[in-house]
C-alpha cells in the first residue's frame, strides 16, 4: 500500500549531494494519515529525505525560537523550535545536531553539520551565519504547506546585507545553557523594524517574481503545495524588490518627515516642530515633546512618569508639583492686551501661580522681569521652588509702561499645581553586546528656546539613529530626556546603583546647535576616560576648542558628577550655556540655531562614540619591525604623500606594544583617532597585530 506522506517525501525534487533547507508545516500530512488510519512516522519521513540527499549533501530544518528576546534563557538541549514539528523531531535524533544561535537555530544533518554547528556570531542574520551558508552554497529551500510570507527569513538576511534604513540590529541578552549544561550570559541580535516606521513589503508579489524569473518552482502533490526556492537566485530579486518597492524610501519619508530632508535638515525640523510647545520641569508640554519624539523619530522611547504623591522627596529635594498653564495675559483699562503668553511662552514666569487682579502699574512692576542690557529680548525666568507669579517682557516695553505708573492693569494667569501629578521623562536603551554603558543625557524643560534646550534633543535623536545603525555595537547606550536638575535627581534615584556599576563614559548635551566654538565642561578632576576622549575630539574638530573646568558647571553634570554620584560625565556644547548673549532669552530662536551648527554638534558627539566603540589595545606580532613590502603595505612607487603614509604607518607600529590604546597612539602622534584606526584596520587585515584589550 502506498502511504501518501512517504510517497510525497519520495517524490520531492531534491537531488543527491544538494544542500536542502526544509520549511514545513506537516500537520496536514499528519492529519491526512490519521484520516486514512495510518500511523504518522516522522522519522521515516526524514529517513527518506536523507536517502535522497545522500552523504554528500546537507539537510537543515529551522528550529527558531524567540523567547530569548524576552529574557527567557535558551537551553540548547531543551528549547523547542516554534517553526514546525519536523525540526523538533530532527532535534531528537542522534544523527542531527543543533546550530548555536539562540534565536535562529537549525537542526542539521549531513556533510557540513560540524561546520554549521561551529558558527556562533552575535549578529543573527549577517555574515558567518547559517543564512550566509545557505546563500553561498546554492541551497534549495523546500517549502511544504507554509505560506511564503510566514517563513522567508532570508529577506531579513538580505536587508541586513544591504543595511536598509528601516531596520536595525537589536541586541538581546539572556542566559544561555549550552549543550554541556554550562550557563553563561550571551548576546544575540535580531533584525527589527524601527517602531516609528510603517514599512510594508509585499511578500506575495515578491514570490510571484521568484516564479517568473525561475528562482522558484511550485508543484502540487495531492492537497499539498510544495515550492522549491533557489536561495542564491532569489537574493538578487529580493534586493531589487527592496529597492524598487522603495521600502527604503518609504522609511525615510514617512509621516512628519514625508518631504525629502537631509539628516541635518531633519534635526532642524525637530527643533522647529517642538519650538512652540510650553515645556517646564513638569507638565503636558513635556509629555507632548516626548510623544512627538516617540511617534516620529524614536519608536522605542519609553515615556516614564514619576509620581509626585508617591515620592514627595528626591534625595535632599522636595518634589515640585506638576505645573500646567492655560492662559496668561495683562490687559489695560481699555481691554487692550499688552502681554499675552500665547504670543510667546517666555512671557510667563515659569511655575507662576494663578491670579486675577487689577492693580496699578507701580505694583505690577514688581512682578515683571526684563533685561536692561538687551532691551528688545524677553528673558527666560522661572520660580520652581517659591510660589510667585510674574511676567517677562522686553525692557523697551517695560520702560514704556513705566511712564504711567498709576495706570491700572488686569492681570490674569490660569495655571494649576497638581500634587497628584507626575514628572515626565524619556528613556531609550539601545543594547550593545556588552553590559557596560554609555549615558547620554539631555533636557526637556525649557519653553520656546532653540539652542537651550531643543538642540540637545535634536542631536540626541540623531545620535540615537546613528547608534541604531551601527552594524555592531559594543556598548549599551542609555539616552535620557529629562527635566534639568530635578529630572537628573529622579533618574539617579531610580538608577544610581546600576549607573555606577555600568556607565563607563557619558555626555550631557546642551546648547549644541549654534555656529559658535566647540566646548566642553570637564568632570571635577578632569581625569576620566570621558575627559580624555572629549579633549582629543575637541582638539581635532576645531582650532579653537574651549575646555571649561567643572568650576564652570551648570547643567546636569552638576548632579552626575556630584561627590556621592561620581559618574564620568562631561557636558558637550557648541557655545557653552551662559557664554552667548542670546542665552535664556527670546533671541535664542530658530535663527540662532542652524542646520550647519546642529550637524557640527552631531559630528562632535559621533566622534566621541567612534572612539568608544573602537578604542582597543593592539600588539604587533613581529619581533622587530615587520617587513612592510611583504604585506603590500610599503608603496613601491614613490608618490606625493606616500612618504607621509609610510612614516605614519611605521610610527603607529612603533607604539603597538599592547599597552597603548588607539587613542593613546593618536595622542602620541598628535593625529585624529580615525587616522590611526584606519591603519590599525589595515594591519589587522594583514594579520600583523593581536587585539589585547579595550580601554575603558
Closest distance of CB 464 from Zn ion, Å: 22
Q: Which three cell numbers mark 553?
A: 558647571
Q: Which stretch binds Zn ion (CB under 5 A): 243-251, 452-460, 560-568, 654-662?
A: 452-460
Under rule CB under 5 A, residue 452 binds Zn ion: yes
Closest distance of CB 588 from Zn ion, Å: 9
Q: Which stretch binds Zn ion (CB under 5 A): 182-190, 249-257, 444-452, 536-544?
A: 444-452
Closest distance of CB 350 from Zn ion, Å: 11
Q: From the CB of residue 102, how many other CB atoms can be counted at a distance below 10 Å?
A: 28
| Residue 11 backbone zone (phi > 0: left; psi -120 to 50: alpha; other: beta) | alpha
**50 vs 453, which CB is nearer to Zn ion?**
453
Q: Is the Cα dihedral 87, 93, 97, 103 positive or negative?
A: positive
DSSP code of 585?
A: B
**165 vs 350, which CB is nearer to Zn ion?**
350
Closest distance of CB 306 from Zn ion, Å: 21
**452 vs 595, which CB is nearer to Zn ion?**
452
- Give the whole-angstrom CA distance, residue 533 versus residue 424: 32
Closest distance of CB 320 from Zn ion, Å: 17
Is the Cβ–Cβ distance between 98 and 204 less than 8 Å?
A: no
Q: Which stretch binds Zn ion (CB under 5 A): 53-61, 449-457, 516-524, 670-678?
A: 449-457
**32 vs 452, which CB is nearer to Zn ion?**
452
**533 vs 572, which CB is nearer to Zn ion?**
572
**Kind plus residue range of the DSSP H or E element containing 263:** helix 263-274
Closest distance of CB 446 from Zn ion, Å: 6
Closest distance of CB 384 from Zn ion, Å: 13
Cα 441 to its chain centre, rounded Å, is 14
**452 vs 514, which CB is nearer to Zn ion?**
452
Q: Is the Cα dihedral 384, 385, 387, 390 positive or negative?
A: negative
Q: From the CB of residue 509, how many other CB atoms can be counted at a distance below 10 Å?
A: 28
Question: Grid coordinates 520656546 are at which residue?
Answer: 448
Contacts of 312 (CB under 8 A, 6+ apart): 318, 319
- Give the whole-angstrom CA distance, residue 566 versus residue 544: 29
Closest distance of CB 342 from Zn ion, Å: 22
Closest distance of CB 621 from Zn ion, Å: 52
Is the Cβ–Cβ distance between 197 and 300 less than 8 Å?
A: no
Number of residues in contact with Zn ion, rule: CB under 5 A?
A: 1
**464 vs 511, which CB is nearer to Zn ion?**
511
Under rule CB under 5 A, residue 209 binds Zn ion: no
Closest distance of CB 570 from Zn ion, Å: 18
**159 vs 452, which CB is nearer to Zn ion?**
452
Closest distance of CB 460 from Zn ion, Å: 16
Closest distance of CB 507 from Zn ion, Å: 17
In b/e form, how buried is each residue of 566-583, taking b as 16+ CB within 10 angstroms? ebbbbbbbbbbbebbebb
Contacts of 469 (CB under 8 A, 6+ apart): 163, 165, 168
Side-chain-side CA neighbours of 388 within 13 Å: the count stands at 17
Q: Which of 384, 380, 522 is nearest to 451 (CA)?
A: 380
Closest-by-Cβ residue to Zn ion is 452
Closest distance of CB 393 from Zn ion, Å: 19
- Strand order across the 106-110 sheet: 97-98, 106-110, 58-62, 19-24, 140-144, 224-230, 216-221
**199 vs 450, which CB is nearer to Zn ion?**
450
**322 vs 452, which CB is nearer to Zn ion?**
452
- Give the whole-angstrom CA distance, residue 379 versus residue 82: 61
Site for Zn ion in 260-289 (CB under 5 A): none
**382 vs 615, which CB is nearer to Zn ion?**
382
- Give the whole-angstrom CA distance, residue 418 versus residue 611: 45
Name the pairing type of β-strands 317-318 and 322-332: unpaired
Q: Which stretch binds Zn ion (CB under 5 A): 203-211, 227-235, 445-453, 680-688?
A: 445-453
**148 vs 583, which CB is nearer to Zn ion?**
583
Q: Which stretch binds Zn ion (CB under 5 A): 229-237, 311-319, 451-459, 564-572?
A: 451-459
**241 vs 452, which CB is nearer to Zn ion?**
452
**25 vs 452, which CB is nearer to Zn ion?**
452
Is residue 605 classed exposed, middle or buried when 0-12, 13-18 and 19+ CB atoms within 10 A define those classes?
buried
Under rule CB under 5 A, residue 588 binds Zn ion: no
Closest distance of CB 452 from Zn ion, Å: 4
**99 vs 442, which CB is nearer to Zn ion?**
442
Closest distance of CB 561 from Zn ion, Å: 18
Is the Cβ–Cβ distance between 651 and 670 less than 8 Å?
A: no
Closest distance of CB 510 from Zn ion, Å: 8
Is residue 537 classed exposed, middle or buried when 0-12, 13-18 and 19+ CB atoms within 10 A define those classes?
buried
- Give the whole-angstrom CA distance, residue 216 versus residue 403: 87
Q: Which stretch binds Zn ion (CB under 5 A): 52-60, 75-83, 447-455, 647-655?
A: 447-455
**79 vs 587, which CB is nearer to Zn ion?**
587
Q: Which stretch binds Zn ion (CB under 5 A): 16-24, 110-118, 205-213, 448-456?
A: 448-456
- Give the whole-angstrom CA distance, residue 593 versus residue 451: 6
- Give the whole-angstrom CA distance, residue 51 versus residue 15: 10
Contacts of 178 (CB under 8 A, 6+ apart): 76, 184
- Contacting positions for Zn ion (CB under 5 A): 452
Amino acid at each position: 500500500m502506498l502511504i501518501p506522506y512517504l510517497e510525497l517525501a519520495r517524490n520531492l525534487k531534491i537531488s543527491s549531494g544538494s544542500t536542502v533547507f526544509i520549511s514545513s508545516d506537516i500537520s496536514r500530512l499528519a492529519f491526512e494519515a490519521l484520516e486514512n488510519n495510518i500511523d504518522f512516522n516522522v522519522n521515516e519521513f526524514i529517513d527518506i529525505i536523507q536517502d535522497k540527499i545522500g552523504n554528500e549533501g546537507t539537510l537543515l530544518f529551522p528550529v527558531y525560537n524567540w523567547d530569548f528576546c524576552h529574557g527567557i534563557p535558551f537551553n540548547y538541549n531543551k528549547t523547542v523550535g516554534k517553526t514546525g514539528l519536523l525540526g523538533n523531531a530532527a532535534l531528537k535524533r542522534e544523527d542531527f545536531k543543533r546550530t548555536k544561535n539562540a534565536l535562529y537555530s537549525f537542526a542539521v544533518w549531513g556533510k557540513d553539520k560540524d561546520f554549521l554547528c561551529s558558527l556562533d556570531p552575535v549578529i543573527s542574520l549577517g555574515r558567518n551565519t547559517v543564512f550566509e551558508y545557505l546563500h553561498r552554497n546554492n541551497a534549495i529551500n523546500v517549502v511544504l504547506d507554509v505560506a511564503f510570507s510566514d517563513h522567508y527569513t532570508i529577506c531579513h538576511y538580505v536587508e541586513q546585507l544591504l543595511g536598509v534604513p528601516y531596520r536595525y540590529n537589536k541586541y538581546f541578552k539572556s542566559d544561555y545553557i549550552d549543550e554541556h549544561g554550562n550557563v553563561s550570559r550571551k548576546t544575540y541580535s535580531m533584525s527589527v523594524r524601527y517602531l516609528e516606521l510603517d514599512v510594508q513589503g509585499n511578500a506575495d508579489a515578491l514570490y510571484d517574481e521568484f516564479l517568473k524569473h525561475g528562482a522558484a518552482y511550485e508543484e502540487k502533490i495531492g492537497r499539498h503545495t510544495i515550492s522549491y526556492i533557489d536561495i542564491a537566485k532569489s537574493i538578487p530579486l529580493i534586493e531589487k524588490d527592496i529597492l524598487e518597492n522603495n521600502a527604503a524610501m518609504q522609511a525615510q519619508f514617512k509621516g512628519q518627515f514625508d518631504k525629502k530632508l537631509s539628516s541635518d535638515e531633519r534635526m532642524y525640523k525637530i527643533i522647529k516642530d517642538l519650538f512652540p510647545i510650553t515645556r517646564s520641569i513638569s507638565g503636558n508640554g513635556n509629555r507632548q515633546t516626548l510623544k512627538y519624539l516617540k511617534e516620529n523619530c524614536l519608536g522605542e522611547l519609553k515615556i516614564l512618569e514619576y509620581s509626585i504623591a508617591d515620592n514627595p522627596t528626591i534625595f535632599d529635594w522636595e518634589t515640585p508639583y506638576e505645573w500646567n498653564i492655560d492662559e496668561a495675559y495683562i490687559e489695560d483699562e481699555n481691554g487692550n492686551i499688552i502681554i499675552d503668553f500665547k504670543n510667546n511662552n517666555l512671557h510667563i514666569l515659569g511655575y507662576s501661580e494663578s491670579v486675577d487682579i487689577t492693580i496699578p502699574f507701580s505694583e505690577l512692576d514688581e512682578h515683571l522681569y526684563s533685561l536692561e542690557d538687551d532691551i528688545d529680548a524677553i528673558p527666560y525666568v522661572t520660580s520652581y521652588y517659591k510660589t510667585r507669579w510674574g511676567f517677562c517682557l522686553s525692557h523697551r516695553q517695560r520702560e514704556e509702561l513705566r511712564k504711567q505708573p498709576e495706570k491700572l492693569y488686569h492681570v490674569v494667569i490660569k495655571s494649576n499645581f497638581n500634587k497628584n501629578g507626575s514628572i515626565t521623562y524619556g528613556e531609550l536603551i539601545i543594547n550593545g553586546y556588552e553590559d557596560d554603558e554609555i549615558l547620554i543625557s539631555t533636557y526637556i524643560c525649557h519653553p520656546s528656546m532653540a539652542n537651550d534646550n531643543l538642540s540637545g534633543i535634536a542631536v540626541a535623536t540623531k545620535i540615537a539613529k546613528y547608534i541604531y545603525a551601527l552594524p555592531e555595537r559594543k556598548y549599551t547606550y542609555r539616552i535620557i530626556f529629562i527635566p534639568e536638575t530635578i529630572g537628573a535627581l529622579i533618574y539617579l534615584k531610580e538608577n544610581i546603583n546600576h549607573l555606577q556599576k555600568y556607565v563607563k563614559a557619558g555626555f550631557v548635551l546642551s546648547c549644541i546647535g549654534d555656529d559658535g566654538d566647540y566646548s566642553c565642561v570637564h568632570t571635577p578632576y578632569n581625569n576620566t576616560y570621558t575627559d580624555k576622549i572629549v579633549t582629543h575630539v575637541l582638539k581635532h574638530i576645531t582650532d579653537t576648542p574651549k575646555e571649561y573646568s567643572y568650576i564652570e558647571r551648570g547643567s546636569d553634570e552638576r548632579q552626575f558628577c556630584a561627590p556621592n554620584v561620581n559618574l564620568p560625565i562631561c557636558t558637550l556644547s557648541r557655545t557653552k550655556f551662559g557664554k552667548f548673549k542670546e542665552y535664556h532669552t527670546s533671541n535664542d530662536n530658530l535663527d540662532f540655531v542652524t542646520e550647519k551648527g546642529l550637524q557640527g554638534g552631531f559630528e562632535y558627539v559621533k566622534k566621541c562614540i567612534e572612539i568608544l566603540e573602537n578604542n582597543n589595545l593592539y600588539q604587533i606580532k613581529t619581533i622587530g619591525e615587520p617587513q612592510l613590502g611583504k604585506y603590500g603595505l610599503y608603496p613601491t612607487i614613490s608618490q606625493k604623500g606616500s612618504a607621509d603614509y609610510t612614516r605614519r604607518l611605521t610610527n603607529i607600529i612603533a607604539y603597538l606594544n599592547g599597552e597603548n590604546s588607539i587613542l593613546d597612539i593618536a595622542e602620541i602622534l598628535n593625529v585624529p583617532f580615525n587616522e590611526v584606526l584606519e591603519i590599525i584596520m589595515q594591519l589587522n587585515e594583514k594579520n600583523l597585530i593581536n587585539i589585547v584589550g579595550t580601554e575603558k
